[in-house]
Amino acid sequence: MKYVSDVKKYLFVLSLINILIFISCSTIKIRTYELDTPLLNENSSIKIVLISDLHSTIYGENQIELINIILEQKPDLIIMAGDILDDEIPNLGTELLLSGIKDIAPIYFVTGNHEYYNNNVEVNKELLRSYNVNILSDCYVKININDNEIILAGIEDSAKKNYDTPEYNLDEIMEYAFRELDEVELYKILIAHRPEKINIYKNFSFNLILSGHTHGGQVRIPPFINGLYAPDQGVFPKYAGGIYKHNGVIHIISRGLSVKPELPRIFNSPELVVIIIKTY
């Protein structure tokens, strides 16, 4: 009888662990960061929703769960940091999302590696433009949000070198496109899909860098392991997800929104990142 009792306890614990893993794998977490700066107008703020690594995952009927979460945030600006589309999963999830949010705030996008993997990057960009998405391709724009002028810059994913332009060189591109911003006294944001290239990004005068790509390291054991594995960083990645500081430069890495049954997220909820930039 004791053996039967022990087996029941074991099965109960195992079932509980599976339930916790399922919940952590499928429930969207809203992660909010508040940043201070002297570069906005007095008593002013900008709210950004950062979407990364959706991979066309669908939340609820017609994407309504994710759309409602974004609408509830009332963002001033929506930023998409790559891998919104996927090279294997149909585009339906992305199109449903964009149709639901395209009119609530300006949307800016940079490519991730998966927008390149199917060799249809230009087709993917045209699809996004059809939903009022602005593409930042190794360039920057000056935009006005809540009477604040800010700089928003974006770079192509490094997959461009292998799938589109063999001579593509990130260091040279950034030097050409962004060095002149050193003389600009505005709040400057760089959108760059891959966080592991931070040693290049931080050589420029950006105040905030936004990335994705890591999927949060896939497996977490808070507070001991922030991420078990990330693409292009390997095991125990240095930049798995969260907020990092590099000599005054803030680097925020989204854990992304992709959920794939064959690659479960363990104690690593898909997340929607909200960033509030405000004056001191």
Q: Look up residue 122 and give its amino acid.
A: E
Please give the CATH superfamily to which domain 2-279 belongs: Metallo-dependent phosphatases (3.60.21.10)
In this structure, what are the phi and psi dihedrals at residue 60, rounded to the nearest 5 degrees? 80, 170
What is the predicted pLDDT for the residue at 4?
58
> And the tokens for 143?
């935009």
User: Torsion angle of alpha carbons 200, 202, 206, 212, nearest 10°?
Assistant: 70
Number of Cβ atoms within 10 Å of the Cβ of 192: 28
What is the predicted pLDDT for the residue at 2?
61
Q: 273 has which bridge partners?
A: 31, 50
31 neighbors 274 (Cβ within 8 angstroms): yes
In this structure, what are the phi and psi dihedrals at residue 93, rounded to the nearest 5 degrees? -60, -40
Domain ranges across the chain: 2-279
Instruction: Strands of 39-178 (E only): list them.
Output: 45-51, 77-80, 107-109, 133-135, 139-145, 148-154
Residue 33 vs residues 80, 120, 154, 167: alpha-carbon distances, Å: 17, 34, 21, 37
Residues near 82 by beta carbon (within 8 Å), at least 6 away in sequence = 52, 53, 109, 110, 111, 112, 113, 114, 115, 157, 193, 212, 213
pTM for the structure as a whole: 0.92
DSSP letter (8 states) at residue 228: S
Residues near 235 by beta carbon (within 8 Å), at least 6 away in sequence = 228, 229
The residue among 266, 270, 271, 272 whose CA lies nearest residue 22 is 266
Residues near 162 by beta carbon (within 8 Å), at least 6 away in sequence = 116
Each residue's pLDDT tens digit in the chain (280 positions)?
Answer: 666 566 656 655 555 555 555 555 679 999 999 999 999 999 999 999 999 999 999 999 999 999 999 999 999 999 999 999 999 999 999 999 999 999 999 999 999 999 999 889 999 999 999 999 999 999 999 999 999 999 999 999 999 999 999 999 999 999 999 999 999 999 999 999 999 999 999 999 999 999 999 999 999 999 899 999 999 999 999 999 999 999 999 999 999 999 988 888 999 999 999 999 999 8
